[in-house]
Structure 1
């Protein structure tokens, strides 16, 4: 027997043994895992970031990716961390670039072989810079309908982070939904100029409650705490916090990042990732958003309001109704 035949026989024997032991699939899976890094300027538990982190952790648990991430990265350090990940051979980098657009886009040009999927108010940048945001104005509208039906004072407060398009459009959609079920409703709007400052959001909420608001739109953490302390109601945003506030949070507009993440991973795997706007994949049609169950408020929301919400939800999914996108800064309508 020649040396080549001997080596071939041994190799076949090793492969057969690996297959019998169940090692071959795991080795193949390990080789197929995509290297993904994420950069977050706020803590993992912040609403917006938590949804991205959750989707990527799910892909990691399925064995699809090798996942690394950094939280609380200051804007001044963003470019440095981004560069370190790119130099480290990450195939896909995910994060938010709202305050560091120029730096992120510059890095993408320097590393054309790396796929970038970043939250951004701008457009995609060829060949490798895709953008996304939480286009959840549809469930925000539906949650507003619920709020309009639950207020007794006809005064609703909205507390947001910054008046950027991604926040403004949700507030406008919420307000339009509230007017749909309650044309008499008035709004107080405030921005705390921070993405994560629960005490500041709480104080802004107290001020609105003092002026008569009995339902609060919790775009930021801290709002629901104020509502609970004062015996008022809150409407959640991005995540469902009713379990933590069972007598306070009536319903929430949910964001699901999984459709966007799964699409990006598929394109990276196939070598077809390019410059694309992932915004539509956060809409209800793609299961990127939805209205949370009423849960503890199932029998507390008026039946006629629930019927209106379900009908409008069906119209949205069927394409018969479109929630308008208004990125302008919302204003208070209540008398100062």
Structure 2
């Protein structure tokens, strides 16, 4: 969809994207009776599963992670499933055309793997009530459309902790995509972890207004280096920031998949999105006749997100500190937004002893303390 409309809609949508009963990972069901496809498939019947991707699969990043999940599902279920994918599909009428074609081709389970596919998915789902759709991120759900998302804020917090210990300039650079709640929440969680280990450190953000644009991502990373950043992180989808960090002799964090092969010295670790287990579970649910529309928001404990192996350059005491916090996330005894949390203006947003609720996280439109600059205003 057109960028300004996308940002405006996503920002507004965040206010209603709630996951009741999903504290520290989990899933919820719509209120009222939810029809369930109760008839299992025949033992010799093959489930056709479709995937729609917003960018080329490539060798790293968001779509690459989803495709790894697709391949893991195939390996797990073997002859019980047959998958089809369409890559580099724009988030507009083209998405609706591709989704409709996947349904017409007999795919009974379709994964729409980007936020911007939400409206096209719902339009197509109305015409194919016997097809199950899974929308990755989105504020609404119907009988044959479920939603799923990872608790990206957990690995974000952990990488922030590492950044706080590895920076010398106390300036961390963040290459941002779009200023929507999901991204702002990630920047906030990273900064919370950063300030936990280094209260003097600050985060600077440069927005590229795109999910995937290697040239712009590299340009943004260079701008952050020019501002004094000696550690980079990102929520964009190419390895360009990691590659620049490797060239400059500074540190960086990968995103979505392990990006260490693009900068073995620079990459301290990567935030991981791991979709294979979820994709396998949803396909099995269709095969067994137990699939139903749910809102899924899983964290490290449910193996949907994590961090990749730590670079040995990170001191052992720092590694132990980070892994101890990871264990707390798994046990549910810690939260990336444990109070007290202040915004960048010093206003207390989360009192001591409380946490930022799911509803508040999913509508997040403010920077936590430690982030410099302003969130870009949405233009109508």
Matched, 1:188 2:201: no
1:310 alignment counterpart: 323
- Tell me which moved more, 111-120 or 37-46: 37-46
**Residue 103 of structure 1: which of 89, 114, 120 is its match?**
120
**Residue 333 of structure 1: which of 348, 371, 376 is its match?**
371
**Residue 166 of structure 2: which of 139, 145, 150 is its match?**
150
How much has 1:330 moved relative to structure 2?
5.8
Q: Output aligned runs, 1:42-191, within 5 Å.
A: 42-45=55-58, 47-61=61-75, 62-74=78-90, 75-125=92-142, 127-191=143-207
Aligned length: 302
Distance 1:259 1:330, change over 3 A: farther
Q: 1:154·1:184 contact (CA, 8 Å) conserved in 2?
A: yes
Query: For 1:38 and 1:335, how far apart are their aligned partners in 2?
Result: 38
1:321 alignment counterpart: 334
Q: 2:54·2:88 contact (CA, 8 Å) conserved in 1?
A: yes
Q: 2:54·2:114 contact (CA, 8 Å) conserved in 1?
A: no
Give unpaired runs (5+ residues) of structure 1: 1-27
How much has 1:314 moved relative to structure 2?
1.5
Query: For 1:245 and 1:225, how far apart are their aligned partners in 2?
Result: 6
Distance 1:193 1:159, change over 3 A: same
Larger Rg: 1
Matched, 1:262 2:276: no
Query: For 1:73 and 1:263, how far apart are their aligned partners in 2?
Result: 25
CA-atom RMSD in angstroms: 2.0
Distance 1:323 1:110, change over 3 A: same
1:200 alignment counterpart: 216
Query: For 1:267 and 1:96, how far apart are their aligned partners in 2?
Result: 19
Q: 2:206·2:224 contact (CA, 8 Å) conserved in 1?
A: no
How much has 1:304 moved relative to structure 2?
2.8
How much has 1:157 moved relative to structure 2?
0.5
Distance 1:335 1:41, change over 3 A: closer
1:25 alignment counterpart: none
2:19 alignment counterpart: none
How much has 1:97 moved relative to structure 2?
4.7
Query: For 2:247 and 2:118, how far apart are their aligned partners in 1?
Result: 39
Structure 1 residues 143-165: Cα deviation after superposition (integer angstroms, max 9, x where no partner): 11111110000000001211223
Query: For 1:214 and 1:64, how far apart are their aligned partners in 2?
Result: 49
Distance 1:141 1:335, change over 3 A: closer
Query: For 1:312 and 1:333, how far apart are their aligned partners in 2?
Result: 22
Query: For 1:223 and 1:330, how far apart are their aligned partners in 2?
Result: 25
Query: For 2:81 and 2:117, how far apart are their aligned partners in 1?
Result: 26
Distance 1:48 1:275, change over 3 A: same
Q: 1:189·1:330 contact (CA, 8 Å) conserved in 2?
A: no
Give unpaired runs (5+ residues) of structure 2: 1-41, 338-357, 375-380
How much has 1:113 moved relative to structure 2?
0.6
